[in-house]
Chain A
Amino acid sequence: MRKCFIFAFCIIFAMTLLGSAVLADETMDRINKTGKLRVGWREGSIPFAFVDPKVGKHVGFSVDMTSLLADRLSEHFGKKIAIQPFTVTPKTRIPMVANATVDVEMGSTTYTQQREEVVDFSYIFFFSETTFLVPKDSPIKSIKDLSGKRLGAARGTTNLKAIEDQVAAGRYTPDAIVVVETHPEGFLALKGGKVEAYSTDRSLLEGLRMKAPNPENWKTVDFAIAYEPYGYMMREGNSDIRDFVNNTIVWSIKTGKFFEMYEKWMGPKGVVPIPMSKAYRDYLTLICYPQAADWWKKK
């Protein structure tokens, strides 16, 4: 009887702990306690997060943004917050955020409603288009030309889903949809003629093209089949870290750091030149909500 009572007490105690844990932001608490920001980066998502073969380290736009975030977190907690990198893939990025292996994923993840049900997204910081990389003399000029062609895309990407959905809707009828594991494999399939057009986000395709031995032999087509807004991912229900990431993005826009980073990676001299459209620039200006000059200070 006594044993039963102790057992029941333990269970109730444990449940109280679980209940109270939900109230605080576990991610911020953990960053404070460990002094580490666990961040998920991609390896081949050029120019957002990729491993530079020359230095063997992660670099890119989102990697620079992570540094800004870590700086602000250091100011916030009044101690050095170190970045602990984890490599994520399109397949593992959502589970790794959901099971708290990483605190925040900063790469090039498309914001979708289905993903939003499992993780939380920051503000959208970039817009890419799902389009195709083709040989420079390719006959593919418009969406209609995709019929009767062999199209390629990587497993688990929104690009593959977009093609499958449009084929199911009867917008075009390709001969085959060839699925590959990674973007470099997709480019290899395109070079060998296994596919006649390889699909992913335009920025990533330009990145692949620029890394090829002869970039002038390839081009991205002028049209797009879908639009992809990118956001950073946090674990569901941790609004403090999400606010902090959003504040960092807005702050970087206000201080001009965002545009410096854009210039560095996607400007005319950047790794992948992508001109910033007026609509995109307007979007960045419009999302800047009023913010205290020292917003990162603990109140």
Chain B
Amino acid sequence: MLGLAYDFDWGVLWRNPYGMYLLQGIWVTIKLGLIGWAIALSLGVLIGTMRISPWRWLRVIGTAYVEIFRNIPFMVQLFFWYYAGPMIFGTSLQYRINAIIGLNYYVAIIALGMYTASRVAEHTRAGFSSISRDHYHAALSTGLTHPQMYRYVIIPYALRIIIPPLTTEFLTIFKNSSIAMTIGVLETTFMSYKIDSETFHGLESTTGACLIYLALGLAVVRLMGILESRLKIPGMIGR
């Protein structure tokens, strides 16, 4: 019979210097999530629109982007950008890039943004295709031009429809940011493991990290919920 003696010490979540570690970790997680989301949203909507454009080569580029970034595991992409990425630029430039202080942070943010963009693009495309052809025809028959049709009729509808799936992606970007730990980004998960390696109280520090991610997630859900109810059109989304 193997008893496991374990003394809980929740103090590792706030005691000096461990509390500070966690706070620094949270700040990095928030930065990764928000900046990554800004890239994901702008790039994703752009790629998504490219995929329904009437020009064939734009559709090809959009589809290629989505399929490449959506089908490769995020961790592999991260390693690729961090270790192999700089090699693309040739020997001399490679050393200049590798010498950038905080390169792993930039790589993590860009990789997070580009990966999530492929998913946002798919939601955007789904949003456009969910609008019935009648809306397009009706808009055109009132005398609007093609750009006006998109600007005043289609996009306002499409963006509202995709708010719920975008909430999921916004949540996921915070969760995926924990993978940035593998290239040495000092975010929440990294810090909770660091506390574990210094105190051997991994149960407490991991529980702390769980609660932090849960709180961040709930905050995002709440924020998106407010956005959704503000923007809803009766009969479209939200009942």
Contacts and interface: CB of A to CB of B under 8 A. Distances in A.
Q: Decide whether A and B assemble into one complex.
A: yes
Interface of A: 17-18, 21-22, 26, 30, 91, 94-95, 98-100, 114-115, 117-118, 150, 155-156, 161, 175-176, 178-181, 185, 188-189, 192-194, 236
Contacts of A118: 200
A93 B116 CA distance: 35
20 contacts: A17-B1, A18-B1, A18-B3, A21-B3, A91-B197, A100-B2, A100-B4, A150-B99, A155-B190, A155-B194, A155-B197, A156-B193, A156-B194, A156-B197, A179-B190, A180-B184, A193-B94, A193-B98, A194-B98, A194-B103
A236 B5 contact: yes
A26 B95 CA distance: 55
B193 A99 contact: no
B193 A91 contact: yes
A161 B198 contact: yes
Ranked 4 nearest A-B pairs via Cβ: A179-B184, A193-B98, A156-B197, A193-B95
A68 B193 CA distance: 35
Would you call the interface of chain B mostly helix, strand, loop, or mixed?
helix
A181 B184 CA distance: 7
Contacts of A188: 83
B99 to A, nearest CB: 6
Q: Which of A18, A30, A100, A178 has the most CB of B within 10 A?
A: A178
Contacts of B5: 236
A115 B199 CA distance: 9
Contact of B200 (A114, A181, A189): A114
Contacts of B199: 114
A192 B87 CA distance: 8
B99 A193 contact: yes
Nearest to A100: B2
Interface of B: 1-5, 83, 86-87, 94-95, 98-99, 101-104, 182-184, 186, 190, 193-194, 197-200, 202
A192 B98 contact: yes
A155 B200 contact: no
Contacts of A26: 1-2
A26 B193 CA distance: 30
Contacts of B1: 17-18, 21, 26
B191 to A, nearest CB: 11
Contacts of B86: 192
A39 to B, nearest CB: 17
Nearest to B17: A168
Given A99-B4, A100-B2, A150 B193 contact: no
A192 B83 contact: yes
A109 to B, nearest CB: 13
A181 B183 CA distance: 7
A194 B85 CA distance: 12
Contacts of A193: 94-95, 98-99
B201 to A, nearest CB: 10
Contacts of B202: 95
B186 A179 contact: yes
